[in-house]
Amino acid sequence: MECISSIHPTTYRSGGLLLKQVKQMIGSNGWEFKEKEGSGLFFEKEGKRLIAATQMRTKKYVLVQVQNTFKEL
């Protein structure tokens, strides 16, 4: 897993802005957002599936982790 961003928790709590930012970061590498389930965001590209997991790390940051294949395809 690779950390691609830290996002302020007020953004995380609002949900919509976090989702928009993560979709934009991952989408810039050609991944298409498919669905959100719990803290997981699911993307697809060229028949492959990518999961981005979000997690509160401190009072100030949310950690977004994705598989290493994020930038390879």
Query: How does residue 47 score in pLDDT terms, banded at 50, 70 and 90?
Result: very high
Percent of the chain with pLDDT over 70: 71
Which amino acid is it at 36?
Answer: K
26's enclosing H/E stretch is helix 16-27
- The domain of 18 spans 2-71
Count the domains in the chain: 1
Average pLDDT on 28-48 reads 91
